Amino acid sequence: PIFRTLKELLDIYLAMPQIDKDRIYVMGLSMGGMGTFDMAVRYPEIFAAAMPICGTVNPARLKAGKSVKFRIFHGDADNVVTPEGSRAAYRALKAIGADVEYIEFPGCNHGSWNPAFNYPGFMEWLFNQKKK
Question: DSSP class of residue 100?
Answer: E
DSSP secondary structure of 31-52: HHHHHHHHHHHH-TTT-SEEEE
Interval 88-130: pLDDT, tens: 999 999 999 999 999 999 999 999 999 999 999 999 999 999 9
Alpha-carbon distance of 54 to 71, in angstroms, equals 11
* pLDDT of amino acid 6: 94
Q: Where are the domains of the chain?
A: 21-127
Give, for 105, the enclosing helix (H) or strand (E). Answer: strand 100-105
CA 98 to chain centre: 13
* pLDDT of amino acid 132: 77
The model's pTM is: 0.95
Interval 8-42: pLDDT, tens: 999 999 999 999 999 999 999 999 999 999 999 99
Second-level CATH architecture of 21-127: 3-Layer(aba) Sandwich (3.40)
